[in-house]
Chains A and B, each alone.
Chain A
Amino acid sequence: MKALFWRELKLSSQVGGGMLTGVLFFLTIVAVMPFAIGPDLKLLARIGPAVLWTGALLASLLGLDRLFQQEREDGSLDILLMQETPPALLVFVKAFAHWVANGLPLVLAVPIFGIILNMSPIGIGATMLTLAVGTPAITFIGAVGAAVTVSLPRGGLLLSILVLPLTVPILIFGVTAINGAVEDPAPFLPPFMILCALTLFFSALGSLAAGWVLKQSTD
């Protein structure tokens, strides 16, 4: 299992692996926003969490289509599925490694992007925390989409369309939690706990579902 994790991490960090693509895409969304909205600093600070979460959500979906497709194209998927390791565990490890390589950099980039959006230090901290907890859920839901579209050429867009509606609750609770941390009357903990629950739930359900789909899709 460890071997699979490190291989996934290594492949992601190599040229064409997509580790930087996500962060750069995230940057383009965040950097363009102030130009579109105008120089109203108060407004920027208020919608900052939403912009960051939307950017991170879309950036997380990038590169997910290659999660299993690449393995299938070079024949590795067959060999991986023949081993003792249950498919669900295989998906879990691959998806988690994918998140470490592609999701974690997004979280780490938030302090810089938060400044662009004139966010307060507390807001930036809350955004990092909610993204760190919430983006794994997006990857695990995306893994199911990646498994379903594994045999489709150019399945990336289809994957995004399939996955996006399912990730909306994560977006809602993520942004609500940040608002709770920044604005006084709104609570932080309840939405944050729901976000944690969503991630735990989808890490189990997503892995099982994607594993089952992969097992069926070999032909």
Chain B
Amino acid sequence: MKLNVENLSANRGEQTIFAHISFQLTAGDALIVTGTNGSGKSTLLRVIAGLLPNFSGNMAIEGGIEDKPIAEYCHYLGHQNALKPTMSVAENLLFWQHHCGTPDLEITEALQKIDLAGTYDIPIAYLSAGQKRRIAIARLLVTKRQIWLVDEPTAALDAKSEAMFSNLLQTHMASGGIVIAATHQPLGLKNTKNLDMDKHQVIPELLEDEYL
């Protein structure tokens, strides 16, 4: 499986966020997206996830099922965890597993992988920020998707959990998955491709004449 992105540009309102991004990822690849705040890292991930309709350029999956949108190949771990605070860990994960289809790991197995085996029945509201983030990561494990779009995945994690997450990413890549990560911190992955968003940023033209 291959993900081709050609000459991608995205807008928010009138403003162009980034322009002319092209890359190609094959099974087992990881793309690390870096750049300063506001350079469009999150926007890029949301465009690939199909959550931002306002873009131009081409995105396509080679070797996939015809007419299946890219979004359905993707797991998206955004800034929010997509967990309901009043429901238990298991209820949250089971819901996503049932709703997304293509189940992968059992809930208990996934919780073991993220070192939170004891939290099965605990409501999300009782967990700390880092624990919630790890449950959100477990969501990626209970459903099988080839492309993982992760946005600042390790923001609330401690060093040990970071290493755990890095291992999970490597396992995913080794099994033929693709990772696209927007991050400031190194994720400890080897042989990654890199994309520096600062080079693709479009600086709004200053209309000096009008203001002066």
Contacts and interface: CB of A to CB of B under 8 A. Distances in A.
B53 A11 contact: no
Interface of A: 2-4, 7, 10-11, 14-16, 73-76, 78-85, 215-216, 218-219
B99 interface: yes
A78 B96 CA distance: 12
Contact of A82 (B51, B83, B86): B51
The 7 closest A-B pairs by CB, nearest first: A75-B80, A3-B98, A75-B82, A82-B71, A218-B51, A76-B82, A14-B86
A74 B82 contact: yes
Given A10-B87, A15-B86, A219-B52, A83 B72 contact: yes
Contacts of B35: none
Given A74-B82, A75-B82, A219-B12, A7 B87 contact: yes
Contacts of A11: 84, 86-87
B176 interface: no
Contacts of A78: 46, 49, 51, 76, 78, 82
Residue among A3, A76, A81, A82 having the largest count of chain B Cβ atoms under 10 Å: A82
Residue among B74, B85, B95 having the largest count of chain A Cβ atoms under 10 Å: B95
Residue among A11, A14, A73, A75 having the largest count of chain B Cβ atoms under 10 Å: A75
Given A3-B95, A82-B49, A218-B52, A75 B78 contact: yes
Interface in B121-160: none
A81 B49 CA distance: 10
B72 A16 contact: no
A73 to B, nearest CB: 8
A114 B36 CA distance: 64
Contact of A74 (B71, B81, B99, B101): B81
Contacts of B52: 218-219
A81 B87 CA distance: 21
Given A7-B87, A82-B50, A82-B74, A74 B95 contact: no
Interface in B78-106: 78-87, 91, 94-96, 98-101
